[in-house]
Amino acid sequence: MKNKILIVCILTLSFFKTDAQIPCKEIVGYYPNWQWYDRSKLVNPLTINYSKYSILNYCFFSPQLDGSILSTDSWADENLLLGQPNWTTGGYFPNTSIVDLAHNHNTKIIPSIGGWTLSGNFPIIAADPVKRVAFAQACVNLIQTYNFDGIDIDWEYPGYADHGGSAQDKNNYTLLLQAIRTAIDNYGIAHNKTMLLTAAVGAAEDRMDDVDWTAVSGILDIINLMTYDFFGSWDVTSNHNAPLYAPTQGDPTFNCDYAINKLISVYNVSPQKITLGVPFYGRSSKTTGTPSLFGSNAGSVDGVTFIEDEGSPEYYNIVKNMGLFTEHWDNTAKVPYLTGNGSLNTFVSYDNEQSIGLKAKYIVDHNLRGAIIWEITGDYLETAPNSGVIANTPLVDTLNHVFCNYNSGVVVPGTPSIIWNNPSNIIYGTALNSVQLNALANVTGTFVYTPNSGTILPVGSHTLSVLFTPLDNVNYTTVSATVQIDVTKASPVLIWNNPANISFGTALTSTQLNAISSVSGSFVYSPVAGTILPVGIHSLNVNFMPNDNLNYLNSNASVEINVVTNSELELIENHINNIILYPNPANSSLLFTEELTAVEVFSIHGKKIFETIEKANSISTAELSDGVYYLVSKQGFFKFTVKH
């Protein structure tokens, strides 16, 4: 028995030695102790490829009412965290535990405490100063016992009434995290180690609102945003488990993009602290009739087809049963889904290599810290079902490939909108220079469009497409890419009491900034010349110290500015030679005299309305409201008008 174990260790370590590398971004993978038993212990400490992850979260430990922490499976934890038992010596074979093997490959490993079924005691612990201290010390004991590299708190969720939560959790959550932070940092200093403190947090708006992000983001090293379980069999209609963007139906806040933007834009959390949740599992729903996206759910999972996973299939089980389904792609939400064939009334939402790749690109484009995986074992595919031989790990391999090779680009669908490949947010009102406009990372290519330096985007998050001719085939194999830029409000805000309208895009001079009609006074705010206001009427409050008491008796006044569209910024009618759009204005459809490829339609402000992947001879405009739009294809772009 001893010799056999040693041989396995040598072969496994040799395999890893040739494959070892450090992920280009943070990849945090959950490893649940109960999954050790699955598939005859296929995914175990000796078969995990640690080089694919920067951190492993070992889960779960259970918080107790007195602040202590208990194991949820003592046999699994002993074998996994201490190593394979040596029955001869009463000890454990060296380098057989998940902790030792992770450290051998420069991968950190931390225990995750809580989880969905074990979060009910957190509100009581966090509310009591004595229990907070006891819990923090229990975290230190856990680190010391198993040589962990920190602590992950998975409280689902502060303020969640079904798990004993209340409004007091918002403050108590911060106090609990601070107690843990202090305790593990003191331990780390004493042992010359840097300790990590991370937390899994909910991606729904009401879950985010129950956290004091200003305080919490300063305490945590990593914020693991659980951007999955948005929809499931509990909903009346079938929808996506983890859509990257909002589907055309359902709660528009239930998607990765919305959650990330709220955490960054509303709560000012640094993107470098956020890992985006990517699921290596799916959600099944039984349907009342023929399964379809947005079809009627029967209120239950398919526990027959996916009996091993109780209806929430791991990715390897989805792949194994793919022949029972028809595969589809939702190009709005950017995720796949399955519908059962024949009499199989089952809908399955999941992620595959394509959707994981798009989420990885999103992470790069938004300068996020990386990805959090629930959970890694679902990605370990066998050479054949029940072969006991691991073939590959396609989903985490996709993450690593994109993180190490993808470069986001520049996109311009036409003035007055512009997109720039920025690693962080830009401030609205900033004039982009020619260097920024040409920053296409490491990819060499020729733009179809030539943007003008100094063009300004309105406040908001803008996702647009770029068409360019690549000069290499290393990073881009097609002539299209998608990038995103987040534009935030400028500070200080421009306030100018103008008697007449101004045009959007006009840089205001210092003379205009000081024109407060005939009232003399000194501004409390000093706006900068050249600041731009978006189109619309703006009523703002001005604080100033008046030099007379004739016209203004108070130090507060309201001024108004009206910004109108600048007609000089409109697009030229036709940017495609020898192709005609008709009718224009369009009523119910727009026809092309020649076939166009990869057609996209944008509003006049640069918001994408819809797109077609295949070639098209026409588009429907029945759902578009009256107004001006831009049509963009690989051949060029048009401006067209819709009038019903």
Catalytic sites, residue numbers: 156
Whole-angstrom distance, CA of residue 467 vs CA of residue 477: 12
Q: How far is CA 291 from CA 288, 317, 325, 345, 512, in A?
A: 8, 19, 10, 5, 62
Any idea what the Cα angle at residue 549 is, between residues 548 and 552, rounded to 5°? 100
**Structure token pair of residue 380:** 């370990």
Q: Which long-range contacts (CB under 8 A, 24 or more apart) does 162-165 make?
A: 163/119, 163/120, 163/122, 163/123, 164/120, 164/121, 164/122, 164/123, 164/124, 165/123, 165/210
Q: What is the 3-state secondary structure (H, E, C) of 16-59?
A: HHHHCCCCCCEEEEEEEHHHHHHHHHCCCCCCCCHHHCCEEEEE
Q: Which run of H or E residues covers position 137?
A: helix 129-146
Cα Rg of the chain, angstroms: 28
* CA separation for the pair 356, 362 (Å, rounded): 10
Establish how many alpha carbons lie within 13 A of residue 166's alpha carbon, considering only the half-sphere containing its beta carbon.
Answer: 9
How far is residue 242 from each of residues 140, 257, 444, measured CA to CA in Å?
34, 10, 34
Q: Can you tell me which residue has the tokens 């300068």?
A: 367
Q: Among residues 524, 507, 523, 526, which one has the least CA distance to residue 429?
A: 507
Angstrom distance (rounded) from CA 233 to CA 509 = 58
Nearest to 231 by CA among 116, 361, 333: 333
- Which of these, 366, 298, 359, lies nearest to 334 by C-alpha position? 359
Strand 556-564's sheet: what is its strand order? Answer: 502-503, 556-564, 536-546, 521-523
- Angle, helices 394-405/353-365, rounded to nearest 10 degrees: 30
3-state secondary structure of 233: coil
Q: How many helices (H) and strands (E) does the chain have?
A: 15, 32
The tokens describing 276, both together, are 């985006």
**Dihedral sign, Cα of residue 281, residue 302, residue 60, residue 209:** positive
Alpha-carbon span 285 to 342, nearest angstrom: 16
CA pair distance 107, 19, nearest whole angstrom: 14
